[in-house]
Amino acid sequence: MPQNLLEQLRKYTVVVADTGDMQAMEEFHPQDATTNPSLITAAAQMPQYQPIVDSVLMDARNGLGEGATDKAVANLAFQRLAVAFGKKILEIVPGRVSTEVDARLSYDTGKTIELARSIIRQYDEAGIGRDHVLIKIASTWEGIRAAKVLEKEGIHCNLTLLFGIHQAIAAADAGVTLISPFVGRILDWYKKDTGKDFHGADDPGVQSVTRIYNYFKKFGYKTVVMGASFRNIGEIKELAGCDLLTISPQLLGELEKTEADLPRKLDPEKAKAMPIEKIHVDKATFDKMHAADRMASDKLKEGIEGFSAALEKLEGLLAARLAALESRTPAAV
């Protein structure tokens, strides 16, 4: 009996759910799950998750006291909400959940470290082992420096918003656990810049992840590669064999419904035999390569601004929800 693409993909690659919707996770049974501020914002507005949101809000209010402003409570609540969703997600997935540091701290190494420690402390207090949690940090130079410190403390990191080989090498040199190169966002940039469409192995996002994967395997890095941000299943098929792929419920459904042969495209043994040149990436090299890579520069900036905007929106929603809760009688709450 022929197997669908999702079943075959799982033979080569760890499948991760790119969603905050726990019902979707229960449907597709991924090994891991990853979220971002946009996904948490969307999930927080779903009726089935209102009890989680309300509980986090009232805990934050009680923690800060009655004198705290709604904005201050909302800021604390969003930090705790991602962990609250993470804990629920880990009741479903057997592996790891990625929880993101505030994107507005992407260029502040010290504050990124401080918030990451706060996040992992919440998981520690819930009795969740650190092997089940990845702290997501934007792949700025400052974010990568923070991740290097955290990894030495046994706090595993997922370097996100990654678009260029310089970001990938710097992260691997820092000893991070995992990187998330954004396939679809790279494709979006090239389509807009060139006016062309790209398919299959010609997709610039696919080519970027393939180059990173082969580089890591060639030089024996322990950092694993998780392709992210897919626009179609064609991109996923071209990256079969990548260490991990994080996929939206829509594309997981499409893979599950499609029966066709899925050959492995990325292979560590083949990568080891490739003639790849080693690149030393210090801060000066990172800055030079980043400035020269218009796509990586544009998409990193855009990604940080987008996640920051999603956080601002979430804080606004939480402040409004808090006001609504506090306007009710105790019995109604």
Among all residues, which ones are annotated catalytic?
136
Q: Could you tell me the two tokens for 2?
A: 């022929």
46, 312, 176, 120: CA torsion to nearest 10: -70
Among positive and negative, which fits the CA dihedral 311, 315, 317, 321? Answer: positive
Give buried/exposed letters for 82-110 (b at 16+ CB in 10 A, else e). bbbbbbbbbebbeebbbbbbbbebbebbe
Which bin fits 325, alpha (ψ -120 to 50), beta or left (φ > 0)? alpha
Helix ranges (DSSP H) in the chain? 5-12, 22-28, 37-44, 50-64, 70-89, 109-125, 141-152, 165-173, 183-194, 204-218, 233-238, 249-257, 268-272, 283-292, 294-327
Nearest to 245 by CA among 267, 218, 225: 225
Put residue 127 in one of left, alpha, beta given phi > 0 → left and psi -120 to 50 → alpha: left
**Angle subtended at Cα 17 by Cα 231 and Cα 268, rounded to the nearest 5 degrees:** 80
- Say how many C-beta atoms besides its own lie within 10 A of residue 239's C-beta: 25
Residues in the chain: 333
Are the C-beta atoms of 96 and 132 separated by less than 8 Å?
yes
Cα–Cα distance measured from residue 213 to residue 223, given in angstroms and rounded to the nearest whole number: 10
- Rounded to a whole number, what is the distance in angstroms from the first to the last CA of the chain? 54
